[in-house]
Amino acid sequence: MPYETLIYQKEDGTAIITLNRPERLNALSYQLMAELEQVADDISEDGEVRAVILTGAGRGFCAGADLKERSDPGVKQPIRKRYTVFHKIEDLDKPVIAAINGVAIGGGLELTLVCDFRIASDLARLGLGEIKLGVIPAGGGTQRLPRLIGAARAKRLLFFGDHIDAQEALRIGLVDEVVPAEELMPRAKQMTKELAERPPLALKIAKSCVNLGLQMDLAAALDYEAKCASILVASEDRIEGMRAFLEKRKPVFKGK
């Protein structure tokens, strides 16, 4: 389907989502949120997509909620759902890389938190400034952030509302890599190319083990891991992987 507030492309098994409201630093309008939700559904059902890159057009990744739109009494606000676009992106059964090309603040930073990897341009700035507006992050920031960087560091970002640069984000574990701006997309595409060569069924199950396991106690998570591992033992991909190893050739995985 055509999109108005984002650009969707596919390249060699990689889905590239570009938030495309550069004049508003890709702020999350209601339309953009709806289109993100739709593209997540499309990717989930597309067997050709093996990995996803999420980035922004222009000089920003995403400036968070479109406050101008939300403060307009003439704009009808959609009913808030329990299962949001953030959950949909987090629950995609394919690896998702956030290529953070500029500012990622508020809901923009929360959007990166539902991705599996975060690569930042050296020009990026990140933060959660909601406290300065008298509110708190409502896209999972108070929960996903401390799980990623620890409670004390998360509270510093949440309570003070200040922005940090890419190198500080790397130091505290908020991003995985920092690269020069011109190398951001090539690096993200290099990663998705490598991920596309991995067995998709094993990737899907490994992601599920991590994401769901973090919501369980250790004993339950280990039990879930064991059950998932037993599923993979009987898979065609596991047999192909072992056969290719013994035959000293590159495996051809089919996700079965």
Do 221 and 187 reside in the same domain of the chain? Answer: no
Statement to judge: residues 78 and 143 lie in one domain: yes
Residues 204 and 177 both lie in one domain:
no
165 and 213 housed in the same domain: no
32: Cβ–Cβ under 8 A, 6 or more apart, which residues?
5, 6, 19, 21, 26, 66
Domain that holds residue 161: 6-196
User: Per-residue pLDDT for 1 more than 70?
Assistant: no
Which has the higher per-residue pLDDT, 238 or 5? 5
Distance (Å, whole) CA 200 – CA 5: 30
Band of pLDDT at residue 6, cut at 50, 70 and 90:
very high
Share the mean pLDDT of the chain: 94
Q: What percent of the chain has pLDDT over 90?
A: 81
Choose, from 37, 90, 130, 225, the residue flagged as catalytic: 130
**Average pLDDT, integer, range 99-117:** 98
Percent of the chain, pLDDT > 70?
99
The domain that holds 166 is classified in CATH as 3.90.226.10
Residue 20, pLDDT above cutoff 90: yes
Residue with tokens 């106690």: 217
- pLDDT level of residue 217 (50, 70, 90 thresholds): very high
User: Does residue 65 register a pLDDT over 70?
Assistant: yes
> Which is catalytic among the residues 48, 110, 182, 225?
110
Tell me if 1 is assigned to some domain: no
The answer to whether residues 172 and 218 belong to one domain is no
User: What total of structural domains would you count in the chain?
Assistant: 2
| Same domain as 125, residue 64 | yes
This prediction's pTM: 0.93
Task: Determine whether 4 is an active site residue.
Answer: no
Residue 251 falls inside a structural domain: no
180 and 141 together in one domain? yes
More confident residue, 87 or 242: 87
Residues 105 and 227 reside in one and the same domain: no
Which CATH number do you get for residue 219? 1.10.12.10
> Could you confirm whether 69 is annotated as catalytic?
no
Same domain, 57 and 31: yes
